[in-house]
Amino acid sequence: MAEARSTEARATQARADSPGLPDLGGLAGLLAAATVREPLADAPGKSGARLERVEIDGRRYVLKHLDLAADWTMRASGSLRGVPLELWERGLLSRLPDCINQPIVAVGRAPAADDRARPAGGCAVLMHDVSDWLVPATDEPIALRQHQDFLRHMAAMHAAYWDCGSECEVVPVMHRYLELSPWLAEAEAAVRSEHVVPRLVGKGWRLLPEVAPTAAAVVSPLARDPGPLILALAYTPQTFVHSNWKLDNLGTDDAGRTVVLDWEQPGRGAALSDLAWYLAINCRRLPQAKEASIEVYRQALESCGIETAPWWERQLTLSLLGALVQFGWEKALGGYDEELAWWETWAVRAVPLLA
């Protein structure tokens, strides 16, 4: 009975989030009504997820298959069922502010793994096709207005879930800080994974002590055991974080809302960990200095009614350290330059806060 209610709730949410979507009883019913289903091979993702282009009732959708055996990010998150399924069943995405366009319309369990009808690890996610609105996959800086809107809308999302509780505990914060750690590289090598990113992660972490010994002295131990960082951040305000606010996952729709894809690593955490990730992973395409970008976000959070003075400097410093704990490997691959030097400075500054 509980499963039936959960399925009905998900179907109701799908119709509310997608006006005009037929009432066909959830993901399976919607896919049964599809007139087009074809592989989508030109997407920029690197996780191993499989995508299909789908057409239902004359409207375009994308179906994403999250398969535990194929997707290294799923294994890193530790969510065997698939994080989008957890979000969908808890109704967390329905609390997003109006400035966020999340395109998911239905989520269901993965198909049976074998003829014994044992559920496979993972899930399937049906989304509106928002490809026309996404940030183009180039090396060019994005427009200043779009960049600042991404920051303001991120702040609005964080404010909407401010001081949230256990309902937002989806991917544990420990898992998020270990996602790009040496452990990931070693685990994926052990299962003979052919994915490129885990191999680059291992190479970069081995290189960091040679490229930036000062940074490595701080972040390399935390990359293997982020416990001291997580504990220090836990004494600062918490909210619901997306955890992968990168340009490949973002866009701007015709109403000026921020399109946000890839809800596969979210959970409860420090708001500024999202900001730090955004600054680290998108560094080559930002049209504004990091310090100015940080101030845009802070003003936006204040405008949402969140007082920042008591906790801001502590959480900011720790979160910027956390971004280097996650991306020290990537910065090392680029050599010691102004980018790595900037993050190194913040990492050293954060050391006293770990005590």
| 76 φ/ψ angles, rounded to the nearest 5 degrees | -65, -35
Give the C-alpha separation, 137 to 118, whole Å: 38
Identify the pLDDT of residue 301.
98
Give the C-alpha separation, 78 to 93, whole Å: 20
Q: Which of 99, 104, 102, 97 lies closest to 161 in space, CA to CA?
A: 97
Identify the pLDDT of residue 307.
98
Q: Which of 90, 93, 37 lies closest to 261 in space, CA to CA?
A: 93
Provide the 8-state DSSP code for 67.
Answer: E
Identify the pLDDT of residue 77.
82
Give the helix ranges, DSSP H, for the chain: 2-17, 27-32, 72-77, 83-90, 144-160, 173-178, 182-190, 196-211, 213-224, 227-234, 271-281, 290-303, 312-333, 338-350
Identify the pLDDT of residue 45.
57
Q: Is-contact 162 237, C-beta < 8 A?
A: yes
Q: Are strands 258-260 and 267-269 parallel, antiparallel or unpaired?
A: unpaired
Identify the pLDDT of residue 276.
98
**Cβ partners under 8 Å of residue 16, min gap 6:** 94
Give the C-alpha separation, 152 to 145, whole Å: 10
Give the C-alpha separation, 19 to 34, whole Å: 17
* CA torsion, ordered 288, 146, 53, 139, to nearest 10 deg: -30
Q: Is-contact 257 103, C-beta < 8 A?
A: no
Q: Which amino acid is at 184?
A: L
pTM: 0.90
Ordered domains of the chain (ranges, CATH): 2-129 (3.30.200), 144-354 (3.90.1200)
Tally the C-alpha atoms within 13 A of residue 220's C-alpha that lie toward its C-beta: 16
Query: Angle between the 182-190 and 213-224 helix axes, to the nearest 10 degrees?
Result: 60
Instruction: Give residue-wise pLDDT tens across range 53-96.
Output: 999 999 999 999 988 888 888 888 887 888 999 999 999 999 99
Q: Is-contact 36 55, C-beta < 8 A?
A: yes
Give the C-alpha separation, 148 to 139, whole Å: 18
Identify the pLDDT of residue 143.
98
Q: Is-contact 31 16, C-beta < 8 A?
A: no
Identify the pLDDT of residue 120.
57
Instruction: Give residue-wise pLDDT tens across range 180-237.
Output: 999 999 999 998 888 899 999 999 999 999 999 999 999 999 999 999 999 999 999 9
In the numeric block, which tokens belong to residue 282?
């998108």
Residues of the chain where predicted confidence (pLDDT) is lower than 50? 1-17, 19-20, 22-24, 113-119
Identify the pLDDT of residue 7.
40
